[in-house]
Amino acid sequence: MPDEYVLAGDVGGTNLRIAAVAPAGIILHQVNALTPKTGVAADVVDGIVRAAELCISSMENPGRPAGFGLALAALVDSADGRIQSSPNLPELNALPLAETISNNLKLSVVLENDATAAAIGEHWLGSSQGARNSVFATLGTGVGGGLILNGKPYRGIDGTAGEIGHICVEPKGLLCGCGSRGCVEQYASATAVVRIARELLESDPGSSLSGNSNLTSKAIYEAAVGGDLVALDTFRIMGRYLGIAFADLVDVLNPELIVVGGGAAGAWDFFIDHVRAEIRGRAFKHPADRVQLVRAKLGDTAGILGAARVAFGHI
């Protein structure tokens, strides 16, 4: 039986994962489920509570967990445990989620934004260990971010900081889900990669990607590996835009590291030189020379490990 462990969870619009995590960051057991899609907050809460109970009961001789850290794709007020705004699960808006789950499980519950949790996880056990100031960027369906400043998670005054995916890189650019235009998310997410490739294919029908009606960022990556010019150009465009946003962050935050994770980070070899070129061309020399761009190490588990770290810190 583990001496001490916490529950840690990552709740997205589609998947819900709850793990039991030991103090050294070892995942003792993990339950993967689908996030209930009824649109009713109580069902989401129930899904989280049942996955948590299943996780505990599946362990051999479990003790009670010492706390529960929960990462969500939402703006969360980690101080009062309330969801401020949850675009993917709007039924959770304004819900005092930490208190509700705590009452169910009789555990101390602390919430964290999922990208901030991933930044904490990478800082604890991944690519940014020991870095005093680092930016974590995740390139998935959207572009998320988390900040570690002066060695600690930086959340801003209400816990909403780190939304680097909404740095403007084209003031009259594409409409973003956030309501703004030209956010880097529209140019450097996995979703954006597909859109950019589609647009390039219209004027370049000779590409190996032409006629692929089910285009994915993975297929574009594979075409790039094969030397397809449309695929290579897609990642060039994506990298340049990501570099504009990163150059802003380099000038404003002077970080040691920018850690890049998420599905689209898999195409690293095809975009990172363009990101670097844009940072060098735009940011001040000293911080541009200083910043290192590195790949995230922890993959999907960064958020859970970060949530666990927060739960341990909260105990």
Residues that bind its own copies (CB under 8 A): 75, 84-85, 132-133, 145, 147, 149-150, 152, 154-164, 166-171, 178-181, 241, 244, 247-249, 251-256, 281-287, 290
What minimum distance in Å lies between the beta carbon of 288 and its own copies? 10
What minimum distance in Å lies between the beta carbon of 106 and its own copies? 31
**Residue 215 phi/psi, 5° resolution?**
-60, 135
Question: Residue 30 is encoded by which pair of tokens?
Answer: 């993990």
What minimum distance in Å lies between the beta carbon of 172 and its own copies? 9
What minimum distance in Å lies between the beta carbon of 291 and its own copies? 9
Considering beta carbons, is residue 131 or 200 the nearer one to its own copies? 131
Considering beta carbons, is residue 1 or 157 the nearer one to its own copies? 157
Minimal CA–CA distance to 7: which of 82, 90, 101, 96?
101
Question: Residue 104 is encoded by which pair of tokens?
Answer: 């169910």
In angstroms, the CA 217 to CA 194 distance is 6
Please state the separation of Cα 198 from the chain's center in Å.
Answer: 25
In angstroms, the CA 314 to CA 295 distance is 28
Considering beta carbons, is residue 113 or 141 the nearer one to its own copies? 113
Considering beta carbons, is residue 156 or 226 the nearer one to its own copies? 156
What minimum distance in Å lies between the beta carbon of 60 and its own copies? 42
- For the chain, how many residues are written? 315
Considering beta carbons, is residue 170 or 233 the nearer one to its own copies? 170
Considering beta carbons, is residue 121 or 182 the nearer one to its own copies? 182
Contact 148, 128 (CB under 8 A): yes
What minimum distance in Å lies between the beta carbon of 267 and its own copies? 21
Ordered DSSP codes for 257-313: EEEEESGGGGGHHHHHHHHHHHHHHHS-HHHHHH-EEEE-SSGGGHHHHHHHHHHHH
Reduce the DSSP state of residue 115 to 3 states and report it: helix
Greatest distance between any 2 Cα atoms in the chain: 62
